[in-house]
Protein backbone atom coordinates (compact mmCIF):
# COMPACT_ATOMS: atom_id res chain seq x y z
CA UNK A 1 0.00 0.00 0.00
CA UNK A 2 2.87 2.38 0.83
CA UNK A 3 4.51 1.66 -2.53
CA UNK A 4 1.24 2.28 -4.41
CA UNK A 5 0.64 5.51 -2.53
CA UNK A 6 4.18 6.67 -3.33
CA UNK A 7 3.73 5.81 -7.01
CA UNK A 8 0.44 7.71 -7.16
CA UNK A 9 2.06 10.74 -5.53
CA UNK A 10 4.92 10.63 -8.04
CA UNK A 11 2.50 10.47 -10.98
CA UNK A 12 0.49 13.39 -9.53
CA UNK A 13 3.63 15.54 -9.23
CA UNK A 14 4.61 14.70 -12.82
CA UNK A 15 1.13 15.64 -14.05
CA UNK A 16 1.28 18.98 -12.23
CA UNK A 17 4.70 19.75 -13.75
CA UNK A 18 3.38 19.02 -17.26
CA UNK A 19 0.32 21.22 -16.67
CA UNK A 20 2.51 24.11 -15.49
CA UNK A 21 4.79 23.75 -18.51
CA UNK A 22 2.01 23.83 -21.08
CA UNK A 23 -0.56 25.98 -19.26
CA UNK A 24 1.23 28.77 -17.32
CA UNK A 25 -0.61 30.56 -14.51
CA UNK A 26 -3.01 33.31 -15.56
CA UNK A 27 -0.71 36.00 -14.18
CA UNK A 28 1.88 35.10 -16.83
CA UNK A 29 -0.57 35.46 -19.73
CA UNK A 30 -0.24 38.29 -22.28
CA UNK A 31 -1.71 41.58 -21.15
CA UNK A 32 -4.98 42.52 -22.87
CA UNK A 33 -5.47 46.26 -23.33
CA UNK A 34 -8.49 47.79 -21.65
CA UNK A 35 -10.73 50.27 -23.55
CA UNK A 36 -9.17 53.11 -21.52
CA UNK A 37 -5.64 52.00 -22.43
CA UNK A 38 -6.59 51.78 -26.11
CA UNK A 39 -8.06 55.30 -26.01
CA UNK A 40 -4.91 56.66 -24.35
CA UNK A 41 -2.70 54.95 -26.93
CA UNK A 42 -4.69 56.41 -29.84
CA UNK A 43 -4.65 59.84 -28.18
CA UNK A 44 -0.85 59.60 -27.91
CA UNK A 45 -0.67 58.73 -31.62
CA UNK A 46 -2.71 61.84 -32.48
CA UNK A 47 -0.47 64.07 -30.34
CA UNK A 48 2.67 62.58 -31.89
CA UNK A 49 1.36 63.19 -35.41
CA UNK A 50 0.44 66.79 -34.61
CA UNK A 51 4.07 67.61 -33.84
CA UNK A 52 5.59 66.15 -37.01
CA UNK A 53 4.80 68.89 -39.49
CA UNK A 54 3.70 68.20 -43.05
CA UNK A 55 0.25 68.80 -44.53
CA UNK A 56 -3.00 68.08 -42.73
CA UNK A 57 -5.26 65.80 -44.78
CA UNK A 58 -8.85 65.36 -43.62
CA UNK A 59 -11.44 62.98 -45.06
CA UNK A 60 -14.96 63.76 -43.87
CA UNK A 61 -18.03 62.47 -45.63
CA UNK A 62 -17.39 62.82 -49.37
CA UNK A 63 -15.04 65.75 -48.77
CA UNK A 64 -11.24 65.79 -48.86
CA UNK A 65 -9.27 68.78 -47.61
CA UNK A 66 -5.58 69.65 -47.41
CA UNK A 67 -4.57 72.23 -44.82
CA UNK A 68 -8.21 73.25 -44.56
CA UNK A 69 -8.76 73.76 -48.30
CA UNK A 70 -11.10 71.36 -50.13
CA UNK A 71 -9.63 69.52 -53.11
CA UNK A 72 -11.69 67.50 -55.55
CA UNK A 73 -11.33 64.18 -57.29
CA UNK A 74 -12.26 64.97 -60.87
CA UNK A 75 -10.75 68.44 -60.43
CA UNK A 76 -7.67 69.58 -62.28
CA UNK A 77 -4.21 68.50 -61.22
CA UNK A 78 -3.21 72.17 -61.37
CA UNK A 79 -5.81 72.97 -58.68
CA UNK A 80 -4.10 70.46 -56.35
CA UNK A 81 -0.75 72.06 -57.09
CA UNK A 82 -2.10 75.35 -55.76
CA UNK A 83 -3.02 73.70 -52.44
CA UNK A 84 0.00 71.47 -51.84
CA UNK A 85 3.19 73.46 -51.23
CA UNK A 86 6.41 72.75 -53.15
CA UNK A 87 6.80 71.54 -56.73
CA UNK A 88 5.75 67.95 -57.53
CA UNK A 89 7.60 65.51 -59.75
CA UNK A 90 5.28 64.84 -62.70
CA UNK A 91 5.45 62.41 -65.60
CA UNK A 92 6.54 63.80 -68.94
CA UNK A 93 4.20 64.45 -71.86
CA UNK A 94 3.44 61.38 -73.94
CA UNK A 95 2.79 58.97 -71.05
CA UNK A 96 -0.49 57.05 -70.83
CA UNK A 97 -1.53 58.80 -67.61
CA UNK A 98 -0.30 61.80 -65.68
CA UNK A 99 1.09 61.26 -62.18
CA UNK A 100 2.44 63.99 -59.95
CA UNK A 101 4.41 63.00 -56.86
CA UNK A 102 5.13 65.23 -53.90
CA UNK A 103 8.24 63.38 -52.69
CA UNK A 104 8.56 65.49 -49.56
CA UNK A 105 5.03 64.71 -48.40
CA UNK A 106 4.49 61.11 -49.55
CA UNK A 107 1.51 62.08 -51.73
CA UNK A 108 0.78 61.05 -55.34
CA UNK A 109 -2.10 62.18 -57.58
CA UNK A 110 -2.87 60.73 -61.00
CA UNK A 111 -5.22 60.97 -63.95
CA UNK A 112 -6.96 58.39 -66.10
CA UNK A 113 -6.13 57.71 -69.76
CA UNK A 114 -8.96 59.78 -71.22
CA UNK A 115 -8.11 63.14 -69.64
CA UNK A 116 -4.55 63.67 -68.47
CA UNK A 117 -5.40 66.93 -66.68
CA UNK A 118 -8.03 65.65 -64.20
CA UNK A 119 -7.39 63.82 -60.92
CA UNK A 120 -8.69 60.25 -60.81
CA UNK A 121 -6.84 59.08 -57.70
CA UNK A 122 -4.73 60.21 -54.78
CA UNK A 123 -2.35 57.93 -52.84
CA UNK A 124 -0.91 58.67 -49.41
CA UNK A 125 2.19 56.65 -48.52
CA UNK A 126 2.28 55.89 -44.78
CA UNK A 127 4.79 53.01 -44.78
CA UNK A 128 6.69 50.59 -46.98
CA UNK A 129 5.60 46.99 -47.54
CA UNK A 130 7.94 44.00 -47.68
CA UNK A 131 8.42 44.15 -51.46
CA UNK A 132 9.45 47.81 -51.19
CA UNK A 133 11.98 46.94 -48.53
CA UNK A 134 13.36 43.88 -50.34
CA UNK A 135 13.38 45.10 -53.95
CA UNK A 136 13.73 48.82 -53.42
CA UNK A 137 11.18 51.51 -54.15
CA UNK A 138 10.35 52.35 -57.74
CA UNK A 139 10.47 55.85 -59.19
CA UNK A 140 6.66 55.84 -59.17
CA UNK A 141 6.68 55.94 -55.35
CA UNK A 142 7.35 59.03 -53.22
CA UNK A 143 10.87 59.37 -51.85
CA UNK A 144 9.53 59.97 -48.33
CA UNK A 145 6.59 58.82 -46.23
CA UNK A 146 3.64 60.99 -45.29
CA UNK A 147 4.46 62.77 -42.02
CA UNK A 148 1.47 65.07 -41.69
CA UNK A 149 -1.86 64.65 -39.92
CA UNK A 150 -4.35 62.27 -41.53
CA UNK A 151 -7.92 61.98 -40.28
CA UNK A 152 -10.89 59.90 -41.39
CA UNK A 153 -14.24 61.07 -40.03
CA UNK A 154 -12.44 62.87 -37.20
CA UNK A 155 -10.23 59.91 -36.25
CA UNK A 156 -6.48 60.56 -36.53
CA UNK A 157 -4.35 57.61 -37.62
CA UNK A 158 -0.92 56.72 -38.99
CA UNK A 159 1.19 53.68 -39.91
CA UNK A 160 1.03 52.38 -36.32
CA UNK A 161 -2.78 52.22 -36.32
CA UNK A 162 -4.49 48.92 -37.11
CA UNK A 163 -7.22 48.71 -39.73
CA UNK A 164 -9.50 47.29 -37.03
CA UNK A 165 -9.18 50.53 -35.04
CA UNK A 166 -9.90 52.58 -38.16
CA UNK A 167 -12.92 50.46 -39.06
CA UNK A 168 -14.38 50.79 -35.56
CA UNK A 169 -14.22 54.60 -35.66
CA UNK A 170 -15.05 55.40 -39.29
CA UNK A 171 -18.57 56.31 -40.39
CA UNK A 172 -20.43 52.99 -40.76
CA UNK A 173 -21.87 54.16 -44.08
CA UNK A 174 -18.40 53.75 -45.56
CA UNK A 175 -18.83 49.98 -45.19
CA UNK A 176 -15.11 49.41 -44.66
CA UNK A 177 -14.47 45.71 -45.14
CA UNK A 178 -12.00 42.99 -45.97
CA UNK A 179 -12.11 40.64 -48.94
CA UNK A 180 -13.26 37.25 -47.65
CA UNK A 181 -10.67 35.61 -45.40
CA UNK A 182 -7.85 37.90 -46.56
CA UNK A 183 -7.55 41.46 -45.28
CA UNK A 184 -4.35 42.78 -46.84
CA UNK A 185 -6.25 45.18 -49.10
CA UNK A 186 -9.54 46.30 -47.49
CA UNK A 187 -11.76 48.96 -49.03
CA UNK A 188 -14.94 51.00 -48.61
CA UNK A 189 -16.85 54.06 -49.81
CA UNK A 190 -15.52 57.59 -50.16
CA UNK A 191 -18.47 58.95 -52.13
CA UNK A 192 -21.09 57.74 -54.60
CA UNK A 193 -18.41 57.94 -57.30
CA UNK A 194 -15.19 56.96 -55.50
CA UNK A 195 -13.78 54.32 -53.16
CA UNK A 196 -11.32 54.21 -50.29
CA UNK A 197 -8.62 51.52 -50.43
CA UNK A 198 -6.08 50.51 -47.80
CA UNK A 199 -2.88 48.47 -48.11
CA UNK A 200 -1.87 46.72 -44.89
CA UNK A 201 1.37 45.14 -43.70
CA UNK A 202 -0.38 41.84 -42.96
CA UNK A 203 -3.30 39.76 -44.16
CA UNK A 204 -5.64 40.40 -41.21
CA UNK A 205 -7.48 43.41 -39.83
CA UNK A 206 -4.83 43.94 -37.14
CA UNK A 207 -2.43 44.94 -39.91
CA UNK A 208 -1.17 48.52 -40.05
CA UNK A 209 -1.85 50.82 -42.99
CA UNK A 210 1.08 51.30 -45.39
CA UNK A 211 -0.91 53.16 -48.04
CA UNK A 212 -4.29 54.87 -48.38
CA UNK A 213 -5.83 55.51 -51.79
CA UNK A 214 -8.97 57.36 -52.87
CA UNK A 215 -9.94 56.58 -56.46
CA UNK A 216 -12.81 57.47 -58.76
CA UNK A 217 -14.76 54.61 -60.27
CA UNK A 218 -15.23 57.06 -63.14
CA UNK A 219 -13.48 60.45 -63.28
CA UNK A 220 -16.44 62.17 -64.97
CA UNK A 221 -18.75 60.91 -62.21
CA UNK A 222 -16.41 62.40 -59.61
CA UNK A 223 -16.29 65.67 -61.51
CA UNK A 224 -20.09 65.81 -61.57
CA UNK A 225 -20.05 66.02 -57.74
CA UNK A 226 -17.95 69.21 -57.71
CA UNK A 227 -20.09 72.28 -56.91
CA UNK A 228 -20.65 74.39 -60.00
CA UNK A 229 -19.29 77.49 -58.27
CA UNK A 230 -15.98 75.69 -57.73
CA UNK A 231 -15.68 74.87 -61.44
CA UNK A 232 -16.10 78.49 -62.51
CA UNK A 233 -12.88 80.32 -63.36
CA UNK A 234 -11.90 83.02 -60.87
Give me the count of residues in the chain: 234
- Residue 231 has a pLDDT of 66
pLDDT in tens, 143-166: 999 999 999 999 999 999 999 999
CA–CA separation, 173 and 119 (whole Å)? 24
Q: Where are the domains of the chain?
A: 54-231
pLDDT in tens, 93-126: 888 999 999 999 999 999 999 999 999 999 999 9
pTM: 0.76
DSSP tally for the chain: helices H, then strands E: 7, 13
CA–CA separation, 56 and 50 (whole Å)? 9
> Can you tell me whether residue 70 is helix, strand or coil?
strand
pLDDT < 70 positions in the chain: 1-52, 130-138, 231-234
In a 10 Å sphere around its CB, with 0-12 CB exposed, 13-18 middle and 19+ buried, how is residue 90 labelled? middle
CA atoms within 13 Å, Cβ hemisphere of 201:
16
Q: Which CATH class for the 54-231 domain?
A: mainly beta
- Residue 229 has a pLDDT of 78
- Region of residue 215 (left: phi > 0; alpha: psi -120 to 50; beta: else): beta
Amino acid sequence: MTFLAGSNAMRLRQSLIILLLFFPPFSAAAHVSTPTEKTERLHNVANSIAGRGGPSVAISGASLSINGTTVWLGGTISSWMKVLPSEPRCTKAGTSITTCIWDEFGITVGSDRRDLTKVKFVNIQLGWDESDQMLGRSSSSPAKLFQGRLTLDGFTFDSTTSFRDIGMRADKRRELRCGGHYCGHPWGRFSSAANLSFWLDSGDDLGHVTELSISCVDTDACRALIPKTTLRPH
